[in-house]
Amino acid sequence: MHVVALYWQAIVDGGGVDLELTAIAVAVSVVVGILAAVGRIYGGKLLGGAITVYVEIIRGLPPILQLFIIYFGLSQFQINLSSFSAGLLWLVLYGVGYAVEIFRAGIEAVSVGQREAADALGLTRVQALRKIILPQAWMVMLPSLMTFLVLQVKNTTLLYLVGIADIMYQARLGTSATEQPAIMYGMAAIAYLIINLTLSRIGSTLERRQALYR
Amino acid sequence: MSTLQLWGQYLPQFLAGLVVSLQLTGAALVLALALGTLLVLARTGRIRILAAIATGYVEVFRAVPVLVLLFTAYYSLAQLGLRLPGFWAGVVALGAFYGTLYGEDMRSGLQSVDPGQREAAVALGLSNGAVMRRVVLPQAFLAFLPPGTNELSNLIKDTSLVLTIGVTDLMFQANAAAAATFQPMDMFLLAGVVYFAFYILLSRILARWELNVQRRRS
């Protein structure tokens, strides 16, 4: 059991790296995702089409392949990104692809009548989005946004492949030093379990609180 | 060598990798559907303790990343005396995770059937088995199809994780070719084309199948 005592600090450090990357990536992809969703719905054929193709590519390719294209693939053109920036860039690009769809579904779930009423009242499109549509879409989107957050935490497990010192990286390092994979990957599993179950608890609490305002 | 020549040279290897990816997908899908069915039976059944175990299983396995499950199936089980070949470790890990998703999809499919349908069937004198087989399940299946096929395309993508334990799937072949040719972008793009072509093909086929099933039923 002294293996646990020896390595738990490393796992916690790795968890910090994972959470930091997830937080930055999710924040960026939510902002870009809203803009892209608006672009997809109101942006006309060309912009909307381009965004749709982007979403399809992100959804159609395996995450590992996307990460390798950014980290190893770009090096063929002498673009050498650091582990951290390659990992973050991938999380953002991937996240935007998912966030667009979440926001689009949320915005489209708000009834057309609401949009027309805002128009009739003389609100501009931006005002209508900010004051009428997004606040209502928010409630529809909350569950999928929490799923998205958990998905991104899970995606950080791939980052050890490009050398980011996340939980998996620490667990593998510990495994090669101690030859105790059961304990090391058990610790990793528990770390992810704690993070993700906490996130989904927060999500369901938020949902319940939001439901009160309906 | 030009990119196209390289692609031509490596394509057979990539297709051999794709076959492994598909075998992995098929085996994992069978395991996931079986496990999902068991989970639904346990969660909707009368035995409390089984329902609690199934609920706990779903909560835990949905929260743990597939890669951790994969390493557990491959390395940890070996330490504990159960040495699985890489391919089967992949099947177990993917099946264990996707079983929770399929279980949830089946459950919501069942719940989407209006209780009135069941009551009407009972009132018409159908036996319990016939109610399930002829009234409830066909309708539940319709509701299950869209999320179920969506999960399948995610499963195919997730098979690429077995690269990390040395199973020679499509992703593994791409990675090996990238290292051998020093042209990683070319090789990963080829892998991307193969994955993407397959993804588009499969989603079109599944979408058509869904439409067919819906038409026949309505």
pLDDT in tens, B83-101: 999 999 999 999 999 999 9
Query: Which residue in B21, B70, B76 has the most chain A C-beta atoms within 10 A of its own C-beta, making it the best mutation to test that interface?
Result: B76
**Angle at CA A15, nearest 5°, toward A12 and A19?**
145
Beta-carbon separation of A186 and B72 below 8 A: yes
| Burial of A198: CB neighbours in 10 Å, binned 0-12, 13-18, 19+ | exposed
- Buried/exposed code over B120-156 (b: 16+ C-beta within 10 A; e: otherwise): ebeeeebeeeebbeebbeebbbbbbbebbbebbbebb
Q: Is residue B174 within 8 angstroms of chain A, CB to CB? A: yes
Q: Low-confidence residues of chain B, pLDDT below 70?
A: 1, 218
Q: Is residue B191 within 8 angstroms of chain A, CB to CB? A: yes
Provide the terminal-to-terminal Cα distance of chain B, rounded to the nearest Å.
56
Domains, chain A, in order of start with CATH, read 2-212 (1.10.3720.10)
Q: Is residue B188 within 8 angstroms of chain A, CB to CB? A: yes
Residue pairs between chains A and B whose CB atoms are closer than 8 Å = 108
Give me the residue from B171, B182, B183 closest to A65, CB to CB: B171
> What's the domain count of chain B?
1
What pLDDT is attached to residue A107? 87
- Buried/exposed code over A90-116 (b: 16+ C-beta within 10 A; e: otherwise): bbbbbbbbbbbbbbbebbeebeeeebe
Distance of CA A138 to the CA centre of its chain: 17
Give contacts of B70 with chain A, Cβ < 8 Å. Answer: none
What pLDDT is attached to residue B74? 95
Please provide the DSSP assignment of A38-100 as one string: HHHHHSHHHHHHHHHHHHHHHHHS-HHHHHHHHHTGGGGGT----HHHHHHHHHHHHHHHHHH
Kindly report the nearest CA distance between residue B216 and chain A, in angstroms. 28
**Angle at CA A190, nearest 5°, toward A185 and A193?**
125
Distance of CA A190 to the CA centre of its chain: 21
Distances (CA, A) of A96 to A6, A26, B157: 38, 8, 18
Q: One digit per residue, pLDDT tens: chain A, 214 residues?
A: 678 888 888 999 999 999 999 999 999 999 999 999 988 888 888 999 999 999 999 988 999 999 999 999 998 898 899 999 999 999 999 999 999 999 998 888 887 888 888 888 888 888 888 888 888 888 788 888 888 999 999 999 999 999 999 999 999 999 989 889 999 999 999 999 999 999 988 888 888 887 776 5
Q: Name the residue range of residue B178's domain.
A: 3-217
What pLDDT is attached to residue A1? 65
Instruction: State ipTM.
Output: 0.88
* CATH number for B50: 1.10.3720.10
Beta-carbon separation of B76 and A186 below 8 A: yes
Give me the residue from A59, A73, A192 closest to B65, CB to CB: A192
**Which of 152-171 (B) contact A at CB < 8 A?**
153, 157-161, 163-164, 171
